[in-house]
């Protein structure tokens, strides 16, 4: 009986070790997904804000709407292509219907609606492994410069430009600090492993 118990105990020990290794690997991959998503969200925000600032200075808010309609999707596509992740912006009240939130995005943004800023003054973040993917979201609070196109009092010429580019627009009536939307990034296992293999550990 004692001899028969030894293989069983060894098997249980090996199984426990394998489970711990799998948990450790999942934790490492989740941290990689989070860190790489932070970098992608930073790039998306910085490059889009830069393009909109230039457009606002040159053509005013109505000009910025045209730039946003072309630049934002192009940036999302570029970052997705470069990283292997799915990168986009979404919102509860969309301007572009293609940015409509899925069920998870709606749930997360609804939880941020009352306060999109955390206790440290940063936009709130959310990460999880869901449906075989690593998911990341970061809140986009409404900034003062957003109000010319997304606020409560929008100039008639800006309203006309919005309607021309976005006939199904829902994204007006915001006040400073309210949740405007979110960056939403998704990694499947293969894309994340490829990103780590090609680019090394995230910094």
> If pLDDT is split at 50, 70 and 90, which confidence band does 195 have?
very high
d(CA 126, CA 132): 16
**The pLDDT value given to residue 155:** 93
Residue of 32, 173, 163 whose CA lies nearest to 91 = 173
18-76 confidence digits (pLDDT tens): 455 555 677 899 999 999 999 999 999 999 999 999 998 998 988 889 888 889 999 99
126-144 confidence digits (pLDDT tens): 999 999 999 999 999 999 9
d(CA 56, CA 152): 18
Q: Where are the domains of the chain?
A: 28-199
User: Rounded to whole angstroms, what are the CA distances from 77 to 22, 74, 96, 177, 181?
Assistant: 32, 5, 15, 27, 18
d(CA 104, CA 126): 11
- Percent over 70 (pLDDT), the chain: 86
d(CA 136, CA 34): 7
């Amino acid at each position: 009986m004692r001899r028969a118990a030894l293989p069983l105990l060894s098997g249980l020990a090996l199984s426990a070790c394998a489970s711990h290794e799998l948990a450790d690997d999942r934790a490492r991959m989740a941290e990689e997904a989070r860190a790489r998503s932070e970098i992608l969200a930073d790039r998306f925000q910085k490059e889009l804000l830069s393009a909109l600032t230039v457009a606002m200075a040159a053509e005013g808010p109505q000009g910025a709407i045209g730039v946003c309609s072309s630049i934002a999707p192009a940036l999302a596509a570029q970052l997705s292509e470069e990283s292997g992740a799915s990168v986009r912006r979404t919102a509860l009240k969309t301007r572009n219907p293609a940015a409509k939130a899925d069920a998870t995005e709606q749930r997360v943004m609804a939880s941020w609606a009352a306060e999109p800023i955390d206790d440290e003054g940063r936009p709130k973040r959310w990460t999880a492994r869901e449906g075989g993917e690593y998911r990341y979201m970061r809140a986009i609070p409404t900034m003062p410069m957003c109000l010319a196109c997304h606020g409560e009092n929008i100039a008639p010429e800006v309203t006309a430009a919005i309607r021309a580019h976005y006939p199904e627009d829902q994204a007006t009536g915001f006040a400073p600090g309210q949740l405007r939307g979110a960056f939403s990034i998704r990694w499947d296992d293969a894309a994340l492993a490829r990103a780590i293999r090609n680019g090394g550990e995230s910094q």
